Structure 1
Amino acid sequence: MKPPDNGEEVLFREARQRPMGAEREAYLDKACAGNEALRIRLAALLRADESPDPFLEPHAALASGRDEGLRREVELMAKARRIPGQVSGKPGATPLGPAAKGKPGKSSLVGERLGLYEVEELIGAGGMGEVYRARDQRLRRAVALKVLRPESRLDPGRLARLEREARMLAALNHPNIAAIHGLEESAGKRFLVLELVEGETLAERLKGGRIPLEGTLVLCRQIAEGLEAAHEKGIVHRDLKPANIKITPEGKVKILDFGLAKEFREEGLPVDLARGPTLTEEITRPGAIFGTASYMSPEQAKGKPVDKRADIWAFGCILYECLSGEKPFPGETATEIFAAILTRDPDWQALPATTPWRVKDLLHRCVQKEPKDRLHDIADARIEMQEQMAVPQGPLRAWQRLPLGWLIAFGMTALVIGLLIGAAVMKYSRLGASRVAQPAVRSLVRLESGQWLEGQRWRPPYGLDYPTRTAMALSSDGRFVVYSAVKENPSEHDKPRLYLRRFDQLEAKPIAGTEGGSSPFLSPDDRWVGFWADAKLMTVPVEGGVPAMLCDVPWPFGFSWEADNQIVFALGAQSGLSRISAAGGKLEILTRPDQSKGEFAHRLPYCLPAGKQILFTIMQNAWDVHPRVAIMDLATRTWRVLLEDAADARYVATGQLAFLRRGTLMVVHFDPNRLEVTGQPMPAVANIAQALNTKNTYTATAAGQFSISGSGSMVYASGGIAPDLQNSLVWVDRQGKAETIAPFKAPFCSPGLSPDGQRIAYSTLGIEWSGWIFDLNRSTATRVTSEGLADWVIWTPDGKRVTFGWNKTGVRNIYWQPVDGSSPMERLTQSEYQQFPGSWSPDGETLAFVESHPESGSDIYLLNVRDRSVTPYLNSRFNERYPEFSPDGRWLAYASDESGRFEVYVQPFPRGGGKWQVSSEGGCAPLWARNGKQLFYLWRTVGTAGTQAWSADHVRFFRQQAASLV
């Protein structure tokens, strides 16, 4: 990405001053004429600038100075927003310390007077407000003013939050807590008047290394005293860390930033795996993790209810860091930090050998992973330190102090990069939170220009153009993602491929050898990526190379790479699970669906880390919207259901299962030893794209567009499940004019006119699939069946019965039923494979229907209604669908993909003897005119579906409409 120059900075400022909407868009169009890249880039920056979250965190690359392009982009926004500070790339600069000071911008309040306060200097800013150094003219003292930004001053939520923060600070009147002087309003501006704390933060102090024991005890005793006062008021800080502790030049400690504080008597909130450990979002938002990774207690990391013991854990981490000069739970990424917090103890050998035993014992008690085993009250820590300080050790030594200014707790708004894969991958670490910036779990990540996320989309009219296979794979350490993408609005010649995006880089790069690839999944060591291309399972190094073909896979329904180098996958739409060595070899069948238990298919496997069990999803029919998650023991090849109404489960090292329930990510505690879930599942992230309700056998996979790393970092695409269609039944004349028939909208599918022209049979393909008959004279609709899933309703030639596909246990076969309801429905076919009724011969003796096989795809069969015998008619390695008899019974029209895409063909019936291709640019769903002289069919164009009419002489375009399922 090209770094912004001064001209782009001017454009950004000018655009930002214009109201959002048409005026701003018009300005960008004119200013960026002929430079589309600049236009897109400025629009992305402006979207980020308008983010409603006032506490987004900047990327670790800023503090390290590793990425000049990203640094310059943040600098551009910072200058335009008057946010001084970390844009200089200085490691460890604090948000509101000296590095943050700069000249006031155009809209600064510097020089103005707000009530009694003369505004002197802008010292910090964020998405919600700005902080100024000011002079109290009545009391002649320096104060800090926190003022809502102009766009927030009329926001009831922001005003309520400001008042809540004021009340919280007012309740915490203690010399070791930064004070509030008041909540005031002047000239329409609501603001807090805060104590101006001079000095350095503990984080800045620790840059010089560990603090001697005496100095540590002096500092940490004061921290404990401040926490004790807060806890006595029933308030837990939730974000205690060195950056939130200020040390005045006189050695007085002040605890800052109670912006995340809450009353610990409140109930806890459910975990949100998409929000990371440095999240500082709106404190009223449900389902969030609050705190900072290195100082977060295990219960905070898991999203459990927190009380004052979470602060005691953070206090223990600070005490350890002061004594050793090192963090107790180090890691380069949030993933590594979480794993350390949850599974490892601090390195006690890092403490000085002279550390008193009672201080070591205090540390041990503060960082017990179970809250019930932890020190119960911070007052006990204060007493321990006081008693230790009373032990004769010689004179206390002065410890070094650096006058690095002052800090008021106020979140800085950072740059949100580009467009999204759909939603989020990482959240960026806070400026100045520690010496080494730490990537967290959430931010926005863009696809390359002109791309969209692939995932086996089925274009209209064959599907809803919705990703149906998981299109992304996050590395186990959370440092990169592999995803499948394709050109926007692709032609039939545009193929998807895999891309590698490392989070310390701004651009994704294509992975050589993955042309045509989708459904990526990573090896346990993250060195290889598996994928599906050309109906084959392939592997290639993550950095690209010559791919290796392992076996044929007609359709991908989920892959997982085991720790022992075996790849587990679902072979087809109606299959169980199989596996093959990643080095190649013989295919091994692991499961077969148990139809006696209502199992239609096994798919979406996930290998547990121990390599002894596999999670997978059980589908009870081809369009199941209430699937189940099961666990299989590889030694016994037996499985049992773990979760009802659940799909696409993944294990998280924090001791949870994450799974999807109709587009919502749910989490539930999981015992990896007993292989059982405990407690009730809780919602974590809403609106994740999931392939349910897609109305198509090969697209209703239940797969979700998300991926989780070893300890909870997450990438996902938003979208939820496919919505129900809202179609209308219409008459269309030969000029293409449409007239509505039914006075309502529904997910109509495959309408058919009765032989007498008085009724219409149709299906509704929503969450529930049903067959219906609409009476044109009475304008009433009657449901054909009262239970199960019915679809593809067609008339018998005499109009006395309707024929339809029906299933209740998972496999759809063909039934018929009298229209007058004089007898119950009757089964016509019996097969273990999915079947779809197509068309009756004019004499009513033969039904042409489609049967789908996992290996060979869709074929056309004939049913003799007298003896119920079934014979194959078109049974090839290609897919044949939509059989339609001509009115005289001498021809059969159908659609086949033998050319590489679906086209319409006609051949003589009952004997073949040749065929004619009717369509030339794609076609499906043929329908004969009643006089048999013309054939109508659907013809796909880009983004639309059209109808064409065919006769022996010519093909004529008939009608075009917005694409929909047929």
Structure 2
Amino acid sequence: MTPERWQRITELFEAALEREPQDRLAFVAEVCKGDESLRAEVESLLSEDEGAGSFIQQPVLGASASPLNRVLQEVKVGPIPIRTLIGQALGHYQILEKLGEGGMGLVYKARDTHLQRFVAIKVLPSDRVADPERKRRFVQEARAASGLNHSNIITIYEIANQGGVDFIVMEYVQGKTLGQLIPRKGLRLGEALKYAVQIADALAASHAAGVVHRDLKPGNIMVTPTGLVKVLDFGLAKLTEKAKSEELEETQTLQAISETEEGVILGTVSYMSPEQAEGKRVDARSDIFSFGSILYEMLSGQKAFQGDSKLSILTAILREEPKPGTQVIKDLPHEAERIIARCLRKDPARRFQTMADLKVALEELKGESDPGIVVTTAKLQTRRRSSLIWITGLLLPLSAAVVLVWFLGSRTKEQELPLASVPLTTYPGNEFYPSFSPDGNQVAFSWNGAKQDNYDIYIKLIGPGEPLRLTTDSAEDYSPAWSPDGRFIAFLRYLSTGEAAVLLVPTLGGAERQLAEVSAPSNAFLRLAFVRDLSWSPDSKWLALPDKSSAGGPPSLFLLSVETGEKRRLTTPPPQSYGDMNPAFAPDGHALAFVRSLSLTIGDIYLLPLSQSLTPQGEPKRLTFDSRMNWSPAWTAEGREIVFASGQVRRQSLWRTMTSGSSKPQQLASVGEYSSLPAISRQGHRLAYVRWLIDHNIGRVEIAGRDGKSSPASNLISSTLSEMVPQYSPDGKKIAFSSDRSGNFEIWVCESSGL
């Protein structure tokens, strides 16, 4: 607060004192009209003046110190207060030395003369508690925090006011702040996780009690010489909020960031969540974002969001992504980077939703990184679900041991072991295009969302848990492909021009990058459920994809450079064919499997040999020779076999064939019908695929008669599969309809009764 502001406050305070006590508040309200902050400051002084005698037991500044003199003596020149409390007393607390200073006040070491123990006392700035309502809400929050009984949370002994000085008495902790302990290149992973788990445990306990920290930063975390973490200052950031509308809060925030003050306040800004930076209301997920910033700094020695001023830092928090952890932290495990990135999502709905879940993830990572500790995982359990009219896209990971034996063992049917399928997704709507992460523990896929309103790219850990949404564009996003180096997911986005954009998005979320635009099927079914059209080269430098070289020609396969955007042709299909599609690189990059389609219902698997530089070596070799649709090839880990989908649309199943062409394809009997779009983990221990469950029935509703009433809908024609497009005969006695109950879509006729 500036001296000019204080001069105005004192002038009004003195003028109010000249009036009768019952007239003072009305006077202040009149002269401060339009400036509620000024009014609150003056009213606070009047309130102190009326009750000063009852609060002072042992004067801090002497018996002659009036509230006005006390305020004038507290005016600061820069960050240094004119007066000091060292050597004086606040109640029965004898002030011994200054421990530190922060944006929320001064911290002193003191002796409790009643209990003969050392305590820490935080003296709160008068401008922070001048507004009575703000002070009331702070006290309520601090009291809630004082009720937290947790080994990693600083114990609050007392919240008091002596001689007009508001202060908090808390446990005195010997040690250093986390900020003092973080070296220039960051902490070792094990040490950082040891602290991080304790911080998460403290916050999980506070959130369970309804207390959000709001000002989490390394300076608010103490570490004792034995490595015990103590989180400080719960609820203090409440002082910076007012019970106003969100619009006013946002205005105040924008006014605040227009200042360029540096130092303590700037440090706090570095750990704000985006919703805090925008002046929005916050919940526990704001602390999760701040925690992510701290964890990033613990491991890297660098702040996640940096800038030369408050405004530039807040802009980074709102608009930019921090450098990926693997770029600044040597040998950082992928799981650690994933945890940090999930904490730092801009959208709170995309972060960890509870600190308890985040703590579990940290404990698992700590267990994996600690030598000699065996980590066990919960057994994956399936969930039953009732029949729906339209359920598609169940991604089914298989038992690791069984699939590994099956892929690497003999191909004789007698030795093939039965496979157990476990649903990975059971969401409403449609999920397509599974693609494994390099370690085989996550799957990317396209889903039209809980509201079934738009297809976006999601990733999900295998096992329980919700998926993470990576894209939010209103256009259809499909055909995701996880890069072998784990850094990006490539995908296609259908554009209003009828083409598809080829884009990259970091696997941890962030800004998208467009590589090119290519031709795309105009039929939504073909785009979203039929063709997998992106495949990475093993070195993560190239994408294989179909595109048309001319407006009237069929699509060919091309290589697209991820770095330069260069395109190189790989195949040239016959002019009258439907084109080449579904590329799939072999694990070693020496061949490309793909589909050459003669029509929408006939296509075969081909194999194109490639050189070390990915140049075609001769003509493609045909692997399948039946007159049906074979598509979506996926290589086994050792590169000797290809698994693919075969059969009529929505009645297909999975098959396998040797890449040498030495034997006929064999069906995967354990998987069953209605299966497509296979994906195999690079380790060969998991298979994911899409399972279709479809049941379209024909119902009947009596049209309203003269009485204006209609009968309720009733089921007329049904089976375990699909019945569609009904038509009455001219005399109304029979109904013709299409059904695939026989295995193929055919025309059926029944009586008008449905029999």
TM-score range, shorter chain: 0.3 to 0.5
Give the structure with the larger helix fraction.
Answer: 2
Using CA pairs under 8 Å that are at least 6 residues apart, name the structure with larger relative contact order, 1 or 2: 1
Q: What is the TM-score normalised by the length of structure 2?
A: 0.37
What TM-score does the superposition give when structure 1 sets the normalisation length?
0.30
